[in-house]
């Protein structure tokens, strides 16, 4: 039988690779305006000076990020996410990535603690938004709204939209994780311009996973995020599994570790 409107499945090794980053690969999607985002098992930190392959990480991040982006979409917070395709891949809308890492912090940790001498774990007086210029050669330097508008990375209106999105995502994520006994210390998100005809809107892009959040178990204080890798603590996959399990997205009978790609029908 013929399905003329159905995009033809293109095996992965024949798809055109658009971009390869540290933890993900982007392939050409099945239709114009779409891409396939592939999650690798690679973990990097300190601008890729530290690198390891951690079996199962990509599968978990794909699932956790799918869950978060689906909830955001359902709440009317626009994202690039369309649907998960298989264990390691998701179909996304092609957007024009704004070259900023947007960090939202609720509790002091990481670079904020070291830069300003505020002890890790200190509750911040309010949520704080920071911008970093996405540029590996420069080590993603922190920038202000002045830099962003002067160098044309985003307009003042776009910065307002990005900050409003970041606060909504923070409120949603903080509540989501609080409900499963996890404190959202901070997270990083990326945004992109989605063009629909002549209209453009800013959407959440990239991924939201324990690679890009700081998540602390409220009962024990245990870190359930990428700091386990950055700080050589071990147990990274187990922690990501714990996050997935608490969110109710892990099938206990089939731990994803080492499992090969499976096509979701
Ligand atoms: N983060 C990220 N990618 C980066 C830098 C930071 O996902 O390239 C996340 C990090 O996981 C944390 C938050 O952004 O949840 C704030 O990170 P911070 O500025 O404290 O930097 P770090 O301590 O990781 O150097």
pLDDT (average), residues 129-134 = 98
What global pTM score does this model have?
Answer: 0.91
Supply the residue whose CA is at minimum distance from atom 19 of ligand 1.
111
Ligand 1 pocket mutation, candidates 127, 129, 212, 240, criterion most atoms within 8 A of CB: 212
Pseudo-torsion of CA 256, 258, 263, 265, nearest 10°? -20
Q: pLDDT tens for residues 2-41? A: 455 555 556 666 799 999 999 999 999 999 999 999 999 9
Among 47-61, 120-134, 245-259, where is mean pLDDT lowest? 245-259
pLDDT band at 253 (very low <50, low <70, confident <90, very high): low
Pocket lined around ligand 1, Cβ cut-off 6 Å: 101, 103, 109-112, 140, 186-188, 212-214, 226
Q: Which two tokens stand for residue 201?
A: 């809107």
Q: Which of 110, 117, 174 to mutate to test the pocket of ligand 1 (most atoms within 8 A of CB)?
A: 110
Distance CA 155, CA 61 (A): 31
35's CB contacts (< 8 A; 6+ apart) are 18, 26, 27, 28, 29, 91, 92, 93, 94
| Distance separating alpha carbons of residues 81 and 195, to the nearest angstrom | 14
Query: Measured in angstroms, how far is the CA atom of residue 216 from the centroid of ligand 1?
Result: 14
Checking if the pLDDT of 121 tops 90, the result is yes
User: pLDDT tier at 1 (50, 70, 90 boundaries)?
Assistant: very low
> Measured between alpha carbons, how far is 222 from 77 in angstroms, rounded to an integer?
30
**Alpha helix (H) residue ranges in the chain:** 57-74, 110-116, 145-150, 156-178, 227-230, 236-246
For 75-86, what is the mean pLDDT?
A: 98
Residue of the CA atom closest to atom 13 of ligand 1: 187
Whole-number average pLDDT of the chain: 93
Mean pLDDT value of segment 117-132: 98
Nearest Cα to 66, choosing from 261, 249, 252, 263? Answer: 249
- Predicted local distance difference test score (pLDDT) of residue 222: 98
Distance CA(261)–CA(265), nearest Å, equals: 13
Rg (C-alpha) for the chain, rounded Å, is: 18
Domains of the chain plus CATH, in order, are 12-94 (3.30.200.20), 96-234 (3.30.470.20)
> If pLDDT is split at 50, 70 and 90, which confidence band does 250 have?
confident
């Amino acid at each position: 039988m013929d399905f003329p409107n159905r995009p033809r499945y293109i095996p992965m090794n024949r798809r055109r690779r658009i971009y390869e980053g540290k933890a993900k690969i982007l392939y050409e999607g099945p239709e114009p305006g779409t891409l396939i985002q592939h999650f690798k098992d690679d973990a990097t930190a300190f601008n890729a000076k530290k690198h390891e392959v951690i079996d199962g990480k990509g599968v978990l991040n794909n699932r956790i990020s799918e869950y978060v982006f689906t909830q955001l979409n359902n709440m009317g917070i626009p994202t690039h996410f369309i649907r998960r395709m298989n264990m390691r891949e998701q179909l996304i809308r092609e957007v024009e990535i704004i070259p900023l890492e947007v960090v939202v912090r609720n509790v002091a940790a990481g670079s904020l603690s070291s830069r300003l001498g505020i002890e890790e774990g200190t509750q911040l007086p309010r949520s704080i938004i920071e911008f970093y210029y996405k540029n590996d050669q420069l080590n993603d330097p922190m920038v202000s709204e002045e830099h962003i508008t002067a160098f044309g990375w985003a307009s003042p209106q776009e910065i307002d939209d990005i900050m409003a999105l970041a606060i909504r995502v923070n409120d949603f994520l903080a509540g989501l994780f609080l409900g499963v006994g996890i404190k959202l210390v901070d997270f990083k998100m990326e945004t992109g311009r989605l063009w629909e005809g002549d209209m453009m809107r800013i959407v959440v892009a990239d991924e939201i996973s324990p690679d890009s959040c700081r998540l602390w178990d409220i009962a024990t204080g245990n870190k359930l995020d990428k700091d386990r890798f950055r700080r050589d603590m071990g147990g990274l996959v187990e922690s990501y599994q714990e996050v997935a399990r608490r969110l109710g997205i892990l099938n206990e009978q089939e731990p994803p570790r080492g499992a090969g790609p499976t096509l979701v029908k």
